[in-house]
Amino acid sequence: MKTISLLLGLLPLAAFAAGPQVTIYNDGFATVKEDRTLNLAEGVSEIRVTDMSRQLEPDSVMLRELAPEPFGVQILEQSFVNDPLTEGLLLYQMEGQTLRFEEKREDGTIQEHVGKLIRSGYVPGGGSEQPIVEEEGAVRFSLPGQPVFEGIDPNAFLKPSLVWQLASKKAGACPIEVAYVTAGMSWEATYNLVMPAEGGDTFDVSGWISLHNDTGKDFVDAVVKLIAGDVQKVRPPPPMPRRRVAFAGAAEDEFGMPEERAFDEFHLYTLPRPVRVRNNELKQVEFLRTSGVKGSRYYVYNPLVGFGYYGGGIQTDPDYGATADKKVGVRIEISNSETNGLGMPLPKGRMRLYRTDVDGRREFTGEDQLDHLPKNELLKLDMGSAFDLVGERKRTDFSVDTTGKRMTESFEIKLRNRKEKDAVEIRVVEPLYRGANWKITASSLPYEKIDSHTAEFRVPVPADAEAVLTYTVNYRW
């Protein structure tokens, strides 16, 4: 830890100490803890703490003394200056004064203008207006050239800063920790699942943590922690602009992987070494790498995706559920257990699936979004539709007895497998939403009751062939 020498005329500054601690949450905010040193006078003094996050939440700021013998520091007043010095701001501050402007001509020569700045065009807090400059009795609604300033006020704020009115019981260099919440930082996990070229559903799994920094501040040699879970936060995160990308992958045996542990009602990941997270940067760090993970891939035909029980006479509507999707989906299930090479809490993120081609190259074959998944739970991923599998569903019979409050309908479901060599099994999911009191009275194949409104059939379909499923269901209400 070191202090910064003060220049004559400047407010006392808070000095830096290496290694800020940054705890980043999924939802666009972070908590920052930085060690500084305050040069205090006895009694009340004004202190400037500079190089803060542009999206700092001022009412979240906390100060903690680190000196062995306390100074008794108390914050009497706090101001957050979030309008660092720019050309526009400096022009705004010099409205009504005479300035020199340099106009660069096409031949490379410089013509000098001297004029009175009536209006700068800068609007504090955002926005702009037309500038007004009076030069030799004439008024123009533009700047006549690049403004030239004779000097800068030594008290000017070059970066977002906190200005404190502090009371201290004694003078001296007081080490402190300043902590605050800031928007503009977030993290997310992304995963890659790689399958072999031929046969089997064994995966190589890797996971990356992507850190986003849009705070307006660089964090150098930061000790980074990541909180996985849905933390309640009142303010919504701001939209993230485009940014540059940096990678910080490291071999597991040399630098280690992020450490994971339970924390309160969430899970916390600590990066194994300090990192530099620049403003407008997306930095990526590998946190998971394993192989030999077993999964099961199967096909699902759910012809009534999006249908539900809406009441209001659907029991007697013969057209309800008549339109059916023909696509057969691909689903993957993986056990997140230690015996399966995983067994760690997986933070939410995008999972991409790759299949290794015969030439050894990996080809992207689908992706899905993973929610936070505790260990020993089942990971379920929907990976698009199978090109060579087709489903077709039609109603073959319908009857209703409104007096007896019952209705009956029958269906025929055809499943075609256009794969030339591979037989498949397709799980047919039938939503039975006309009523909770239902019974399948006839079926060409066994079924399983998944819940109060869903039945599932497992239909084997030979290679380059068609299989037909028929069933009849009776409803009462």
pLDDT of residue 281: 83
Q: pLDDT confidence of 157, banded at 50, 70, 90? A: low
pLDDT of residue 32: 94
84-98, 128-142, 146-160, 244-258, range with greatest mean pLDDT: 128-142
Tokens read off for 29? 């905010």
Q: Which residues pair with 175 in a beta bridge?
A: 37
Which 3 state secondary structure label does DSSP give 93?
helix
> Using CB atoms within 10 A of its CB, is residue 353 exposed (0-12), middle (13-18) or buried (19+)?
buried
> What number of H helices and E strands is found in the chain?
2, 31
Q: 133-147, 234-248, 333-347: which range is least confident on average?
A: 234-248
Nearest to 382 by CA among 353, 342, 341, 416: 353
- How far apart CA 260 and CA 345 sit, in angstroms, is 8
Q: pLDDT confidence of 426, banded at 50, 70, 90? A: very high
> Using CB atoms within 10 A of its CB, is residue 395 exposed (0-12), middle (13-18) or buried (19+)?
middle
Rounding to the nearest 10 degrees, give the CA dihedral for residues 14, 19, 21, 27.
100
Which 3 state secondary structure label does DSSP give 88?
helix
Q: Which residues pair with 148 in a beta bridge?
A: 100
Tokens read off for 353? 């699936």
Residue 314 or residue 457, greater confidence = 457
Q: Answer yes or no: are the C-beta atoms of 234 and 392 closer than 8 Å.
A: no
CA distances to 11, 164, 245, 363 from 216, rounded to whole Å, are: 23, 21, 16, 38
Which 3 state secondary structure label does DSSP give 475?
strand
pLDDT in tens, 7-27: 223 344 444 445 899 998 887
- How far apart CA 187 and CA 303 sit, in angstroms, is 37
First CA to last CA distance, the chain = 76
Q: What is the mean predicted confidence (pLDDT) over 238-258?
A: 42
Query: Which DSSP string corresponds to 201-224?
Result: -EEEEEEEEEEEE-SS--EEEEEE
Residue 131 or residue 257, greater confidence = 131
Full-model pTM: 0.66
Rounding to the nearest 10 degrees, give the CA dihedral for residues 425, 430, 436, 440.
-70
Q: What is the mean predicted confidence (pLDDT) over 25-36?
A: 89
Q: Answer yes or no: are the C-beta atoms of 18 and 221 closer than 8 Å.
A: yes
**φ, ψ dihedrals at 91, nearest 5°:** -60, -40
- Whether residue 105 is predicted with pLDDT greater than 50 in this model: the reply is yes
pLDDT of residue 436: 75
Q: pLDDT confidence of 344, banded at 50, 70, 90? A: confident
Q: Which CATH number fits domain 14-83+156-183: 2.40.50, 2.60.40, 1.10.10, 3.30.70?
A: 2.60.40
Q: Within 10 A of 105 (CB to CB), how many other CB atoms are there?
A: 9
For the chain, give the percent of residues with pLDDT over 70.
81
- Whether residue 419 is predicted with pLDDT greater than 80 in this model: the reply is yes
Q: pLDDT confidence of 279, banded at 50, 70, 90? A: confident
pLDDT of residue 88: 80
347-351, 380-384, 456-460, 473-477, range with greatest mean pLDDT: 456-460
Tokens read off for 439? 């019974």
Report which DSSP code applies to 466: E
Share the mean pLDDT of the chain.
82
Q: Answer yes or no: are the C-beta atoms of 88 and 94 closer than 8 Å.
A: no
Query: Which residues neighbour 313 within 8 Å (Cβ) at sequence distance 6 or greater?
Result: none
- How far apart CA 308 and CA 280 sit, in angstroms, is 44
CA 345 from centroid of its chain's CA atoms: 17
pLDDT of residue 85: 64
Q: Where are the domains of the chain?
A: 14-83+156-183, 95-148, 293-476
